Structure 1
Amino acid sequence: MNPRCEQDGLPEGLWLAYYGDDFTGSTDVLEAFTAAGVPTVLFLHAPRAEDLARFPGARCVGVAGQSRGKSPAWMRAHLPAVFESLASLGAPVVQYKVCSTFDSSPEVGSIGQAIDLGVRCTSAPWSPMVVGAPRLQRYQVFGHLFAAAHNEVWRIDRHPTMSRHPVTPMHESDLRVHLAQQTPRRTGLVNLAHMAQGQADAVWQSLQGADQPVLMLDVADTATQREAGRLVWEQRGPGVFSASSSGLQYALAEYWRSRGWLPEWPGLPIAQAHDCIGVVSGSCSPMSAAQIDWAQAHGFLTLRMSVPLCLDPVHAEAEIERLTQQAADAVAQGVSPVIYSAKGPDDPAVQGFEAVAQGLGLDKAQASESVGMALAEVMRRLLDRTHLRRVVVAGGDSSGAVASHLGIQAFTVAAGMAPGVPLCRAWSDDARRDGLEIALKGGQLGLPSFYGAVRAGRVA
């Protein structure tokens, strides 16, 4: 696409800059905008001028982060500089990208804390929030969040995965109530009825103020998605900060397209098949377990990581080397390996995780980080010992650990794969990593046959 000029309705330069609260969510935005015809680049660190110069046609840039698993203290120490850096790029919308399941708490991944820090970098008298993303089967209706699983749509506090999330379980579906536990900031709602009756601007007008309140926007279908995008764009003022899921990207693209500023959905390229791929999974979601089972039944080699050994500094090296060598041997024979730390939330490795960590003098966060780093090291060694050029990482924290460990500077979309999970092209100064194709998959995303689809190069 040739980006449109100011007289066509969209400004020159960047249109949006974002920080992703985890790596898989960051690539979700990358996919959503790229598929809509908005050239987008995802960096692993706040981009410098020379970094941006490599992508002169970019209209959206992101920074992949890991705040979803961090404390408010960590956020206060790390996020202000990132938000200021993004705001300095001049994009009219600065986004803190959150997961479309909104899982968070006052202690871990506080979205409220991120908003309180982020609104300081913009001067708009409000902070819009768009969470619903129908393409991902996420819906916000009268402030309540719903998400699909097992071919049904569940209220988020009854969702079979998110209501049981091991770190941030969702026990409240009304996002206003949930957010109020994390920030005292005023919060309002433009609901479905307001949108249908043309009252969105009136609600916005009644709420805006110097305290920059949050205004949640219901999204349940294409019409409400377009209206949410219109309100954000038309009322962005001199610059607005938004804590939103990739629903914001879908909403803005839908509105821009309705105005003729974007072409019809151009879609994404189709990937070529690869004989062999490598997979590491640190996810404990039921879908990830189903994907491991599918792989085992369809010719992949599945290798379980011993979590206790990887947490023990005496035995960690030997366990990492065992997994790496068995995986490399499989690749040499044309077999795709899947290395995983757990199979679903009921796996003994999950149920006994805290006890094992405490026995080794680690808190839960330290132990989770150790597991992610062990998977990252397995992937690094596997790539160095084999010809693999396409890999998958399952789990948000694991994706962050692996991508950071491989010396990658940025990602662009290489091909479509599954909703919310593009196949990315890695950009790196290391020739061994430059051009690597990698899919960073959130635990609950994709079909059971996802790994087979990535290997075959077909859309899952």
Structure 2
Amino acid sequence: MSPLYAFYGDDFTGSTDVLEQLAGGGVPAVLYLRAPEAALRARFADVRAFGLAGDSRSRSPEWMDEHLPAAFAALGEGAVVHYKTCSTFDSAPHTGSIGRALDIGVAAFGGPAAIIVGAPHLGRYVAFANLFAAAGEQIYRIDRHPTMARHPVTPMHEPDLIRHLAAQTRATVGHVALDRIHAGEAAAAFDAANLGADAVLFDGMTMEDLAATGAVLLDRGTRFAVGSSGVTRALVLAWQARGMVDAVPPTVHAGEAERLLVVSGSCSPVTARQIARSAADGFVAARADVAALLAGSSAEEARLTDAATAALGQGGRALIHSAEGPLDTAAPAAGERLGEALGRIARAAVLRTGLRRLLFAGGDTSSHGVAQLGIDALTWAAPVERGAPLVRAHASDPAIDGLELVLKGGQMGGEDFFEIVKRGG
């Protein structure tokens, strides 16, 4: 049976969000950390969806030109191929260009591509092409969002997603507006919008909007989609409505872990509040000397590994972090090198202590850090918090195989998130 769906995640945190949406919809899935060879694919022969965890969110258009065609080719057997972006759609012409990924995908799979960014399950909404996102109890237009308007690499200054993409692509983008969806005219609006268009953006405020959108994608045989896990949810709802997948989600609870190591490179104020709260929950923190890590200091990596090992041995709660919010002068200037260093520290701590649960905080930290662990693939294990599930590692190294991980985007979770992960939800 051919896979229903394949996806490329532009960072690792977003990739595990997709696993959560698929699991909740009764769709067995696996996330590969590299293009899988035949033997690895054979281990997961019964899945109905699969993905590749990438890091294009932090890469240049030239990098995308070199690497995304091969990645998309590896996903080609999926009935729908999804380029998974962050639900805040933050990107720029020079970094994480969603427009360039759109161009490459349309060249590979044909158009029109579907663009779905609204993800009400994550507090993300699109109305008349404008993106809104939750922060705490408030909903903000994305260019006024307290974090995303000031993102250190890809600040969102344009809420109109068609205008935002226009700076990144030559593609023509049509639009299916909210009023047409609510009038039951999504399919007709899509047909009209795609005349001469390379891609079509769908508004979306509710699960009903996503269900209508997913039905259009199936009816029109859409091959390529770009956007948040709203793409995944839309397809799951459509598959369920047609009896193509099990409509009953699994009931699983992770259970409490004896020990937890948190590794954070996030500059988000949300993560900063979680770090501040962690001491009250019993976490012992060690702050990284970022300059030393960026300079490749093995002594600093050893110091932090020792600190994590000691904290895990004393109270079972350890935290290694590099920043405390967006205005922190020690915030990383080189996310890739920092993430790799934090990943090496995490791996050393796991090998030394036999740790079985690990939390990475921050998109770049997760993407570049997890890559240091020697993991072949990830599968969904249990829910923890929306958008940040517990996943299970599959690896040839017995010390890493079966390791439980949570990969948290900077904006995810309440102040006590670290303790929630230790408790298992």
CA distance in 2, matches of 1:408, 1:268: 26
Matches within 5 A, 1:181-220: 181-208=167-194, 213-220=198-205
Q: 1:172 to 1:349 in 2, by over 3 A?
A: same
1:42 match: 31
SS of 1:79's partner is helix
- Kept in 2, the 8 Å contact 1:207–1:213? The answer is no
Deviations 1:26-73 (A, max 9, x none): 111011111110111000011222222111221110000000000000
CA distance in 1, matches of 2:93, 2:166: 9
1:223 match: 208
- Kept in 1, the 8 Å contact 2:340–2:371? The answer is no
Deviations 1:265-310 (A, max 9, x none): 4145111111210010010001101111111121100111111222
Matches within 5 A, 1:18-417: 18-87=7-76, 90-123=77-110, 125-208=111-194, 213-236=198-221, 240-313=223-296, 316-350=297-331, 364=333, 367-417=334-384
Matches within 5 A, 1:413-432: 413-432=380-399
Deviations 1:81-105 (A, max 9, x none): 1111211xx2210111111000000
- Kept in 2, the 8 Å contact 1:119–1:212? The answer is no
- Kept in 1, the 8 Å contact 2:376–2:395? The answer is yes
The one-letter amino acid of 1:66's match is: D
1:6 match: none
The one-letter amino acid of 1:94's match is: V
SS of 2:75's partner is helix
Deviations 1:370-424 (A, max 9, x none): 2112211110111111121000001111111221111000000111100010101
Q: 1:268 to 1:162 in 2, by over 3 A?
A: farther
The one-letter amino acid of 2:117's match is: V
1:3 match: none
SS of 2:371's partner is helix
Deviations 1:330-388 (A, max 9, x none): 112233111000011011213xx5xxxxxxxxxx4xx3222112211110111111121
Deviations 1:222-273 (A, max 9, x none): 2111111111111125xx1111211011111112223333343414511111
- Kept in 2, the 8 Å contact 1:34–1:268? The answer is no
CA distance in 2, matches of 1:41, 1:446: 24
- Kept in 1, the 8 Å contact 2:174–2:197? The answer is no
CA distance in 1, matches of 2:194, 2:62: 28
SS of 2:330's partner is helix
The one-letter amino acid of 1:40's match is: A
What is the count of residue pairs matched by the alignment?
425
CA distance in 1, matches of 2:327, 2:55: 25
The answer for unaligned runs of 5 or more in structure 2 is none
- Kept in 1, the 8 Å contact 2:357–2:403? The answer is yes
CA distance in 2, matches of 1:218, 1:334: 48
Deviations 1:431-458 (A, max 9, x none): 1100000111101101111110111112
CA distance in 2, matches of 1:272, 1:126: 44
Q: Taking structure 1 as the reference length, what is the TM-score of the superposition?
A: 0.90
Q: 1:289 to 1:14 in 2, by over 3 A?
A: same
CA distance in 2, matches of 1:94, 1:368: 28
CA distance in 2, matches of 1:29, 1:15: 14
Q: Taking structure 2 as the reference length, what is the TM-score of the superposition?
A: 0.97
Deviates further, 266-275 or 427-436: 266-275
The one-letter amino acid of 2:173's match is: T
- Kept in 2, the 8 Å contact 1:15–1:60? The answer is yes
Q: 1:44 to 1:424 in 2, by over 3 A?
A: same
The one-letter amino acid of 2:105's match is: G
SS of 2:94's partner is coil
Aligned-pair Cα RMSD in Å? 1.4
1:436 match: 403
SS of 1:271's partner is coil
Deviation of 1:184 after TM superposition, in Å, equals 1.4
Deviation of 1:212 after TM superposition, in Å, equals 5.7
- Kept in 2, the 8 Å contact 1:157–1:171? The answer is yes
The answer for unaligned runs of 5 or more in structure 1 is 1-11, 354-363
CA distance in 1, matches of 2:205, 2:228: 14
- Kept in 2, the 8 Å contact 1:275–1:334? The answer is no
- Kept in 1, the 8 Å contact 2:294–2:338? The answer is yes
SS of 1:348's partner is coil
CA distance in 2, matches of 1:268, 1:116: 39
SS of 1:25's partner is helix
- Kept in 1, the 8 Å contact 2:392–2:402? The answer is yes
